[in-house]
Amino acid sequence: MPSNGLTVVYKETEERTELTAAYIKAGLQQNEHCIWIAPDPEGAELAKDLLSNSELDIESCITKARLKIIPLQETETLSAKQPETSGISFDWKTGVLQKEIIKFTHTGNWRYLRVNLEVKTPGKSITSSLKELRRILAENIPDKKIKPLFTIKEEDLLSGEVFDLIEAGEKLVIKREGKWKFLRIKQELPDKKFKILLESSSDSILIHDMKGRVMEANHIACELFGYTRSKMIGKQIKDLRTNIHLIEFGQQIEKLKQTGYFTFEMDSLRRDGTVTPQEINNMLIEYEGETAVLSIGRDISERRRTEKALRDSERKYRMLFEEFPGGIAQFDKYGTIIVCNENFVNFTGSGENEKLIFNLWSPPEEKKEEEKNITCLPEVPIHCDIKYISSLENESIPGEITYKPLISENSRFNGGIILVEDLTEVKRLEIVRLQQSEALKKIIDSIPTPVFCKDKNGIYVACNRAFKTFVGLEKRDILGKSLYDFAPIEIAEKYHSMDKSLLKQGENKVYESSLKFADGSIHQVILNKFVFNGLIEEDSVLIGIMIDITERKQAEEKMLQAKMAAEAANRAKTTFIVNMSHELRTPLNAVIGFSDLLLSETFGPLNEKQKRYTENISNSGNRLLDVINNVLDISKLDLGNVELYYEKVDMPRVIEEIWRVLSPFSTEKNISIEYNIEQGLKTIIADKVKFKQILYNILNNAIKFSPEGGKVNIAAKVQEDMIEISVKDDGIGIPEADYERVFQPFVQIDESISKKYGGIGLGLALVKKFVELHGGKVWVKASSGKGSTFTFRLPKTPENKIKEKEVITPPHILYNPEIEKKEEKDRTEIKEKVI
């Protein structure tokens, strides 16, 4: 141990504690007096534990005043009279710590004293601080020999000060490779002195001439810049820095010549292009017989990150304060505002560096001048409502204070944070919520049918008089209860969970149900349940409205019975018509057969009169047969007893056949028939017989209602997946209001039409039935006196395949096919008898 003590440079607090323990142990073993100054009470306990783990009797040393462990309290680091820029860690004339040291140095007879002192250097260099500290020790303890242990944290040490300490004669100790080592320089070997200093430093060191050429570099610099030492020597400084130009470099050299010392920050450029921020300390030296620059660089990457993190934290902290919707402020332990936002100033009238103007134990209703100096910051959290006079509006506004104290790590009170919230909007919303609730209750009471309200837990919160009557209870027995309290368990389990789910999902539900009223009667009701949204989610309720539909259901039942009776009567009528039609067709076939036989003159010639009478009999019979067939077809369709046989139908050929059949009628009225079939449209898949009847009925109507010398056009084309066929005439036309009526059975637009043109109004009705049976659609466009256009569409590809039979069969088939067989047999027998 050197007689003038040691100066230790450490990185971590653990390193300082380790060396201090070894330093004190060695002194105690040599019967020297020792003082260990710990940073705080916890550090003092740690020091005692470290010393106890040895062969020394620490308690005896303390009792005999050979050892003193003094905790350096946080509030006593600097005395009140101490200037902030002083390099001394304490004043020997003031403070509890100083008195303890002086008292201990005057206890007993001792030869040497060991004491550890942390060197702080706010505003001054380490070297000058150490000199001043040694002078004070010598002045206050002149007759004693002191072996001080000065400790310096590496981050507090400037890059060039390590040279100053060694040149000043300080015994400098640092830890390298896990061992504490002295930095010794032999004066007789100046070259080795630089080598040792260069390679022992943890900073990068360059020596360059006044033109910027590198003359020397230590291994830290070589690693930093990514070059070997041989490559570094001769490099230009401007090639090792970013954003540095010759003009700027020249300015730095001139400033260095004037002051001898120059410190700045710069980004150093590595060989691979990466950048390392450094704090550069330049000083003029003599090297190899010429003036040179000693450039010491310390990596400040971590410091930059820390500074950035601090700036970000400060920005976020300030943003929190400024953007906080209410007032927020931080106070010290004396009640002085350290920082606050604008809302706090507007709300309380107090700003930064001002005293809090109210007592948190009992917040005043308004600010008073005599309360300006009243401040009380309790050491427990507080939450209370207040009322202030706003500093901006000069009006009383409701508010709320939330206060939380700040406690340091050593359990000391350090002030607190206060949040002040303006409750004006909250109070307004409370009033609106109350008004909304009252209005809803009034609306519910005014509804004559039973109505109830439930909250999210399925609890009744409102109901009207009708609902009271329904359940047979008073409001006090309903409100605040759930369905489980007055309904059977099976009903409660079904509807309680459903109502909660509806409210949670925000859904509506309308359904019918049978409910038993309080008087025991069963009623059919419609329940309409929906969510009524409040200002906040907690205010949302489920409203249920019950509409009694018992009488309506009874009326519906009567209507259903009447409908069923009418349908039965209609079926009976249809069946009668079918059977009568068959009964009429049997003798009619004989009349037509015998009249045709007479016209053929097989049994002898007829005179003109006989021939005319016979033709009238045949024509009248055929017309009557057509009417009966149409009536029979309509009846079959009504009964659903219709069969479709799909096949490929040659459309042009079918149109030709129908034209040939109707040509006598068209020739008689001098009506021309034209048709236009889209190229490529040859066949259609349909029931051939029904398809021919559709075309026949439409064309027959077109010829019938067209004037003499008129024209009928037939057009066919493909329209998407349908085949469209239209028939246009220039006949009497149809009013737009009667477009739908013309397709109804037994309907004539004008009674005079049937007298003039004949017919009973079944042709178009059959067309509509047959088209729809194919899955198609038929319509008409016309105007009175300007002709008509009938159009129908059929699917190109029906659901059933070719020649596949589709039978539409109703639940009850009243038509008996045996009648059809009997008629066919009768017709055959008549022909055989005639022959």
pLDDT digits (tens, 9 = 90+) for 337-354: 888 888 888 777 788 888
The mean pLDDT value for 804-813 works out to 37
The mean pLDDT value for 249-271 works out to 84
Cα three-residue angle 306-307-311, rounded to 5 degrees: 115
Q: Residue 84 has what pLDDT? A: 38
Q: Residue 214 has what pLDDT? A: 92
Q: Can you tell me whether residue 372 is helix, strand or coil? A: coil
| 70: amino acid identity, one letter | I
Give the range with max mean pLDDT: 29-43, 111-125, 410-424: 29-43
SS3 per-residue string spanning 271-331: CCCCEEEEEEEEEEEEECCEEEEEEEEEECHHHHHHHHHHHHHHHHHHHHHHHCCCEEEEE
Enclosing H/E stretch for 768: helix 763-773
Rounded CA gap, 303 and 280, in Å?
Answer: 14
The mean pLDDT value for 432-443 works out to 86
Cα three-residue angle 827-828-831, rounded to 5 degrees: 90
Of 612, 792, 796, 808, the residue nearest 722 (C-alpha): 796
Q: What is the mean pLDDT of the chain?
A: 79
Give the range with max mean pLDDT: 77-86, 317-326, 580-589: 317-326
Give the range with max mean pLDDT: 117-121, 355-359, 383-387: 117-121
CB atoms within 10 A of CB 329: 25
CB atoms within 10 A of CB 170: 23
- Beta strands 413-422 and 327-331 are antiparallel
Lowest-confidence region among 270-274, 299-303, 365-369, 409-413: 365-369
HSE at residue 311, side-chain half, CA atoms within 13 A, is: 6
HSE at residue 109, side-chain half, CA atoms within 13 A, is: 0
pTM: 0.35
Rounded CA gap, 349 and 805, in Å?
Answer: 95
Of 831, 826, 794, the residue nearest 718 (C-alpha): 794
Q: Decide: residue 783, CB within 10 A, 0-12 exposed, 13-18 middle, 19+ buried.
A: exposed
Which residues have a Cβ under 8 Å from the Cβ of 104 and sit 6 or more positions away? 33, 35, 65, 68
HSE at residue 246, side-chain half, CA atoms within 13 A, is: 2
Assess contact for 676 and 715: CB atoms under 8 A.
yes
Residue 827: is its pLDDT beyond 60? no
For residue 560, give both structure tokens. Answer: 């259903």
Cα three-residue angle 696-697-700, rounded to 5 degrees: 80
φ, ψ for residue 489, nearest 5 deg: -60, -35
Residue 687: is its pLDDT beyond 70? yes
Which residues have a Cβ under 8 Å from the Cβ of 179 and sit 6 or more positions away? none
Report which of residues 517 and 381 the model is more confident about: 517
Q: Residue 569 has what pLDDT? A: 75
Residue 793: is its pLDDT beyond 90? yes
Which residues have a Cβ under 8 Å from the Cβ of 10 and sit 6 or more positions away? 16, 19, 151, 152, 153, 154, 175
The mean pLDDT value for 559-580 works out to 77
